[in-house]
Amino acid sequence: MDDGRGAGSLNDAVRAVRVLNVMTAEEAVAAQVKPEERKRYFRADSGKANMTPPAESATWFKLVSINLDNGPEPGLGGDFVGVVTSWKLPGVFAGVTVRDLPNVQAKIASGTWAKNAAADDWAGQAIAEVLGIDTEETSGLARVKGLLKGWIASGALKVERLPDPKRSWRARPIIVVGERAEP
């Protein structure tokens, strides 16, 4: 709202203001939306900051291109028009099935996996390998971190502290299998 001409006086003069906000680069990463596609996604927010919900609970929309099929003959093209459709922000577990967790747990059980994302043997690499997620991409890395956090919170994976082979004076947090999921 503050970007418009005379925005302060307009904002103060009305009770409710609605603003369409394009998805930010950070929101696109979290939503697994390609950077070049993010401007097709937007949300309708309140222009007053005290009434604006966080991104994950906002009402999202997507601009899609629809073929009117009004060409010279059916199936031979025609005009395309942009249409606004409702869109739901996907959670970190979008596309993950109940069959994936036992596979992830088996991979975790097969070795020693660190909790720290900076470690060479980070548990997220095991998750990424099983689910086919590219952690070289920012969105893939963020997703794997969210999956790991979610499975730890649910008890499917858990954190234990074991002696660090490189630093004998310190315990190292590692990821182990928690409650086993049925395959």
Residues 132-163 pLDDT 10s? 998 888 878 888 999 999 999 999 999 998 87
pLDDT tens column, 49-88: 665 566 666 789 999 999 888 877 776 778 889 999 999 8
pLDDT top residue among 137 and 183: 137
User: pTM score, two decimals?
Assistant: 0.65
Look up residue 79 and give its two tokens.
Answer: 């005009």
DSSP letter string over 72-120?
Answer: SSTTS---EEEEEEEE-PPPTTTT--TTHHHHHHHHHHTS-EESSTTST
Helix and strand numbers, DSSP H then E, in the chain: 5, 7
Q: Angle between the 123-131 and 138-154 helix axes, to the nearest 10 degrees?
A: 110
